[in-house]
Amino acid sequence: MSKKVVLFGSTGSIGTSALDVISRQDKHLRAWGLSANTNWRLLAEQAERFKPEFISISDDDAVRKYRREYPESAGLLVSQAEFRSRAVEEADIGLVAVVGAAGLEPSLAVAGSGKRLALANKESLVMAGGLVMAAAEKSGCQIIPVDSEHSALFQALEGGRRAEVSRILITASGGPFLDRPATQMEHVTLEEALSHPTWSMGKKITIDSATMVNKAFEVIEARWLFDMPPDRISVVIHPESIIHSLVEFRDRSVLAQMSMPDMRLPIQYALTYPERLESTVKALDLAGIGGLTFRAPDPEKFPCLAVGFAVAREGGTLGAVFNAANEVAVDAFMKGRLPFGGIHRVISQTIDKHDNRQAGTLDDILEADRWARTEAQKCL
């Protein structure tokens, strides 16, 4: 019987790739619910093609436009709250592919449901890893990471016992500025920052990759997903993006997961795990690639990476503050109100002002998120 998948954020880069996977695996997977923020036209096309049971649109203006254009499909469109509750009641898998802090509530809802959470939205773990993991543990929810690095770690970890793991190594492409001197980073343009050399992704994560905030987030994500102390997590630059991450065991054996860089692979794995199904991802041609290279990240050029390790070590409400300050700074950079180099300054100034607290409840997280957005705005 096919698994019912609810996609939170079906119109984005991950969402559309996930629908591509579902369309090719239609004996195994069915799109049960689809949601978008503003892109109601694409959502309507997806609904026409995939025939979900319900859809949802977050943006009020987009809801009005959708209703005007499709008066006959009013029964299909449900509120965000109903979308969440039907997702956790009816679906087998919730894929959270919303970008940013808006992914937290869907992640928490699926984590608390005992169903599978296919998690792309890394911001949920950065903001509230403790809460998401505790909710999943209590409900019996299985979290399968969609992020390629964490999917790689998840797969490599199957090669040994947890107590035998000595450390994990997260690979990073290094983004578009890998070979640019640190002194020339301040005023790189939006267009340059959006030209990722190996991955095609949504805009926000592409900017996060250029600053390496994305890698900082992945360190925090790994800390929560695999219960790994930050001092046993390393980051290594691997510009070819063929090795997606590695696990070192105590006998010094290292297991890596490799493939061509294509998000449809980790998405499919998260949806069909433990099965491995055929895929359309290009086969790896190592001789054609010729060489795999590695280097250490330059801390001067990518200062946000160290912030990620510090946040992973300290925990509390700092993750929510890091995420919120980054969202404000990235938005300002994309609107031309902040130079690229300002992203790190806004993040570090906001973090420096924060009085870190225990993040015991969702309210603690949301309060820290609100506080950090206001403070980060002041730094612009």
Distance, in Å, from the CA atom of 255 to the CA atom of 248, rounded to the nearest integer, reads: 6
> Which stretch of DSSP H or E encloses residue 169?
strand 165-172
* Residue 119 vs 157, nearer CB to ligand NDP: 119
* Residue 3 vs 65, nearer CB to ligand NDP: 65
Residues 71-110 that bind ligand NDP (CB under 6 A): 97-99, 102-103
Residue 2 Cβ, how far from ligand NDP at the closest point, in Å?
A: 23
Over the range 255-283, which residues count as b (16 or more CB within 10 Å of their CB) and which as e? bbbebebbbbbbbbbbbbbeeeeebebee
CB distance 123 to 101 below 8 Å: yes
Distance, in Å, from the CA atom of 342 to the CA atom of 337, rounded to the nearest integer, reads: 10
Residues 183-242 that bind ligand NDP (CB under 6 A): 199, 201-202, 204-205
The C-alpha angle with vertex 180 and arms to 233 and 307, in degrees rounded to 5, equals 35
Candidate ranges 6-14, 178-186, 250-258, 280-288; the one touching ligand NDP (CB under 6 A)? 6-14
Q: How many residues bind to ligand NDP according to rule CB under 6 A?
A: 28
Candidate ranges 4-12, 82-90, 219-227, 294-302; the one touching ligand NDP (CB under 6 A)? 4-12
* Residue 70 vs 199, nearer CB to ligand NDP: 199
Residues 112-151 that bind ligand NDP (CB under 6 A): 120-123, 147
Q: How many CA atoms lie within 13 A of 308 on its CB side?
A: 29
Residue 17 Cβ, how far from ligand NDP at the closest point, in Å?
A: 7
Q: Is 261 in the site for ligand NDP (CB under 6 A)?
A: no
* Residue 36 vs 216, nearer CB to ligand NDP: 36
Q: Is 36 in the site for ligand NDP (CB under 6 A)?
A: yes
Residue from 25, 37, 151, 268 touching ligand NDP (CB under 6 A): that is 37
CA 132 to chain centroid: 14
CB distance 175 to 197 below 8 Å: yes
* Residue 249 vs 369, nearer CB to ligand NDP: 369
Q: Map tokens 């890698």 to a residue.
A: 215
Residue from 4, 5, 6, 14 touching ligand NDP (CB under 6 A): that is 14
DSSP codes, 171-211: EE--GGGTTS-GGG-TT--HHHHT--SS----HHHHHHHHH
Residue from 235, 247, 263, 330 touching ligand NDP (CB under 6 A): that is 263
135, 128, 110: which is closest to 7 by C-alpha? 110
Contacts with ligand NDP, residue ranges (CB under 6 A):
9-15, 36-39, 58, 97-99, 102-103, 120-123, 147, 199, 201-202, 204-205, 263
